[in-house]
Amino acid sequence: MKSIYYLLAGLTVATHLLPAQDARLLDESLLTELRAEASRRHPAALSAQLRATAAEADTHSIRLWDDPMVGISLMAAERAMRRSDGDVRLSFEQPLPKPGLYQATRAKAESIRRATQENSRSASLLVGVTTAKDAIELALADESTTLLRDQLKWFAEMTENARQRSISPDSNSIDALRLESELARATQVLAASQRTRERIAQSLNLQLGRPMESAWPRLQLGEKPSPTPLASAEIARITRANPQVRSLREMAIVSSAETEITQRARLPQFSVSVDTNLYSGGGIPTAAVGLKMSLPYFNRSSTQAAIQAAQIREKAAVNDIESTRLIIANDILTATTDATNAAAQADAYSGEIYQHALAAAEAVENSWISSKSSLSDLLDARRQLFSIRLEQRRYLAMQLAALEELNLLVPHSP
């Protein structure tokens, strides 16, 4: 009766693990939904979006005119002198804009805004890809659980078959006992697979900002791998599509603007002033209009050093762009190679390799039922078939994960 106990236990676990919902295909439509949800709700994406909003506000804080200065002074002297020269002096001074300084400062702020927007886009892409990879891992866990459930059902059938055979006086119960042990082991593996699935689902909920215990439908991978883009075509898109490179390009413009700002800042500062003298006891006030100019020539050496430093940073920024482009190009080569290899393996394991393993497993099973093959041969053939089926699903998941990494490097989204 022990075999019946394991049979019922195994089927009870299998029934518990079978979700009520139908399996949902993990296609590009579902992945797009998950990426968008993560980018809307993940704190890292929200933080980057707020920084982009702040950079937008910074562009409106650039001033063309400096604040004017007003002043008042009182004279302490004899009344005759105060009546003659006035004992109250009012002054007003308005600095004039330096030519080109406002435009250069505004250009710098605009470039910083665009760079911050690219950083925000990069953060959203990163949390989206991370979420998509978690969904792929969840789908693989569901696929593994399905295969393990089929394996458990098969062990239960073979255990009952062996138990019936052991009733015969010419048979022994060794096969039945061994299959009961395999059934118990498969039951535990299935339960562990379900716990792993729950952990992945909880991690996915955290990424999406959902309650951690939110239920997920059973996910299913496609039957065939997706097309893999050519590495050369993706590398050609780096400068147009990669947010990091686009941000660095904007920062190079910032360095150029800083050079222009430094050059404009060394120009003399002109200001218009109006001074009025009046007597507190009455009388006609006098006024004078003047033009003032700063003398920046005493700091020419420090100003020139600042210009040189800005020019060096501009050159460094250009080299940073090329260095980053080369790193991303290498990552694209890795991602496309991984995707291509995984797709080839998935095709191979779903084709001739699987058919041969299935035919071998069926032949050995029929042979064991007729007592012509050993139980060891039967278990080996079945395990090989299970391994091939599981590897095919793993390679499909690996290819999807590699394509997600490629989407992070050269996204097609605007």
Q: What is the pLDDT of residues 208-220, one digit of tens each?
A: 999 999 999 999 9
User: At 283, which amino acid appears?
Assistant: G
The pLDDT of residue 18: 44
What are the residue ranges spanned by the domains of the chain? 2-409
Q: 6-15, 16-25, 289-298: which range is least confident on average?
A: 6-15
The pLDDT of residue 279: 73
Percent of the chain with pLDDT over 70: 92
- The more confidently predicted of residues 348 and 297 is 348
Average pLDDT over residues 172-189: 85
CA distance 124 to 102: 33
Q: How confident is the model at residue 200 (pLDDT cuts 50, 70, 90)?
A: very high
The pLDDT of residue 262: 85
Q: Which of 194, 133, 184, 21 is nearest to 398 (CA)?
A: 133
- The per-residue pLDDT of the chain, averaged, comes to 87
The pLDDT of residue 117: 95
The pLDDT of residue 170: 57
Q: How confident is the model at residue 173 (pLDDT cuts 50, 70, 90)?
A: low
pLDDT(24) > 50 = yes
CA distance 405 to 126: 9
Cα radius of gyration (the chain):
38
- Tens digits of per-residue pLDDT, 130-142? 999 999 999 999 9
- The more confidently predicted of residues 165 and 99 is 99
The pLDDT of residue 169: 59
Q: How confident is the model at residue 375 (pLDDT cuts 50, 70, 90)?
A: confident
Q: How confident is the model at residue 16 (pLDDT cuts 50, 70, 90)?
A: very low
The pLDDT of residue 10: 47
CATH superfamily of this structure's domain 2-409: Outer membrane efflux proteins (OEP) (1.20.1600.10)
- Tens digits of per-residue pLDDT, 54-69? 999 999 999 998 889 9
The pLDDT of residue 413: 65
Average pLDDT over residues 15-20: 44
The pLDDT of residue 168: 67
- Tens digits of per-residue pLDDT, 84-112? 777 788 899 999 998 999 999 999 999 99
Contact 276, 285 (CB under 8 A): yes
Q: Work out the number of other CB atoms within 10 angstroms of the CB of residue 179.
A: 24
- The more confidently predicted of residues 222 and 4 is 222
pLDDT(285) > 80 = no
Three-state SS across the chain? Answer: CHHHHHHHHHHHHHHHHCCCCCCEECCHHHHHHHHHHHHHHCHHHHHHHHHHHHHHHHHCCCCCCCCCEEEEEECCCCHHHHHHHCCEEEEEEEECCCCCHHHHHHHHHHHHHHHHHHHHHHHHHHHHHHHHHHHHHHHHHHHHHHHHHHHHHHHHHHHHHHHHHHCCCCCCCHHHHHHHHHHHHHHHHHHHHHHHHHHHHHHHHHHHCCCCCCCCCCEECCCCCCCCCCHHHHHHCHHHHCHHHHHHHHHHHHHHHHHHHHHHHCCCCEEEEEEEEECCCCCCCEEEEEEEECCHHHHHHHHHHHHHHHHHHHHHHHHHHHHHHHHHHHHHHHHHHHHHHHHHHHHHHHCHHHHHHHHHHHHHHHHHHCCCCCHHHHHHHHHHHHHHHHHHHHHHHHHHHHHHHHHHHCCCCC
pLDDT(181) > 50 = yes
The pLDDT of residue 238: 95
Average pLDDT over residues 318-340: 95
CA distance 342 to 398: 6
Quote the longest CA-to-CA distance of the chain. Answer: 143
Tell me phi and psi for residue 64, to 5 degrees: -80, -40
- Tens digits of per-residue pLDDT, 239-258? 999 999 999 999 999 988 98
The pLDDT of residue 86: 74
Residue labelled with tokens 């039922």: 369
The pLDDT of residue 6: 44
pLDDT(22) > 60 = yes
The pLDDT of residue 284: 65
